Structure formats: structure tokens, C-alpha cells
Amino acid sequence: MHRILIASTLALAALSAHAQPRMQPGQWEFTNTMTTPKAAKPQTATIRQCITEKDVKNPALMQAKPGKDCKVTPKGKSGDVYSWEMECPKSGMKGSGTVRYGKGTLEGETKMTASSKGQPVEITTKMKGRRVGPCK
């Protein structure tokens, strides 16, 4: 599950980089909160990532690699909102997400369905990101 959380963050960051020129290069902090009925409480993880000018110009450089069988497919843009779908056939996961970006902030959400012991499990991950300064 932790891998899903980190992969979601990086996928959101990569997709939001398509938001050039709005997304500013620099040190970004991303906080994800994952909830599922199978967990007693939400799981939260925070990571920092340096987003370079090169990353902003070519978001594929930041694309998450959640698993060799996973594919993230952009679905479109409406104003400052991007949407995508993600599918991981070998692990039985699929879902969709959106991200709303600003110059130094972004917010997103993914909804995934996975299988646990033959039963479907819904996983929702909410992410907030903010530029915290120049890359270190």
C-alpha cells in the first residue's frame, strides 16, 4: 500500500508538470493521505522532490513507476485540472485521478480499486503539494 501512496504522488507531480508555465521549478513537498475501509486509520506520507525546469518541460522524466505492469494514461485537461486513469493488470489495480494545479500549489485525488483476498478494496488517496523553495 505504501508503494501505491508514493506512486500516486509521483504520478500527480508528473501530470501536474504538464501545467507549464504555472508549475514552478523548485523543491516541492507532497503529502498524501490514503484511506481504505480495510485500514483502521488513514495512512499519511510526506515526501520532498526537486522539480527542475527540465522536469517541467518534459514531465515523462518524473513519471512514477508503480510497477512494471502499470500504465498511467492522461485523460484530459479542463482549466487548471488534469485527469488520468491508471491500470496495473498483474496486481489487479485500476483507478483514476485528478489534480488541480497552481503556481506553487497543487491538490489531487486518486481512487483505486484493488483486490485483497479475492475481495475488491477501494483506496482513496488525497494529495496536497506546495513549492517550499529552491532545490537544495
Residue 4 near residue 45, CB atoms below 8 Å: no
pTM (two decimals): 0.76
* pLDDT given at position 59: 61
* pLDDT given at position 62: 60
Number of domains the chain contains: 1
For 134, counting Cβ atoms within 10 Å of its Cβ (0-12 exposed, 13-18 middle, 19+ buried), the class is exposed
User: Which residue is it, cell 529552491?
Assistant: 134
- The CATH number that applies at residue 104 is 2.40.128
Residue 51: helix, strand or coil by DSSP?
A: strand
* pLDDT given at position 21: 46
Taking phi over 0 as left and psi of -120 to 50 as alpha, with beta for the rest, 62 belongs to alpha
Domain boundaries, position 27: 2-133
pLDDT digit string, tens, across residues 109-135: 999 998 777 788 899 999 999 999 999
List b or e across 42-65, with b for residues whose CB sees 16 or more CB atoms inside 10 angstroms: ebebeeebebeeebbeebeebbbe
What DSSP character marks residue 64?
-
Spell out, as residue ranges, where the chain has pLDDT lower than 50.
1-2, 5-6, 17, 19-21
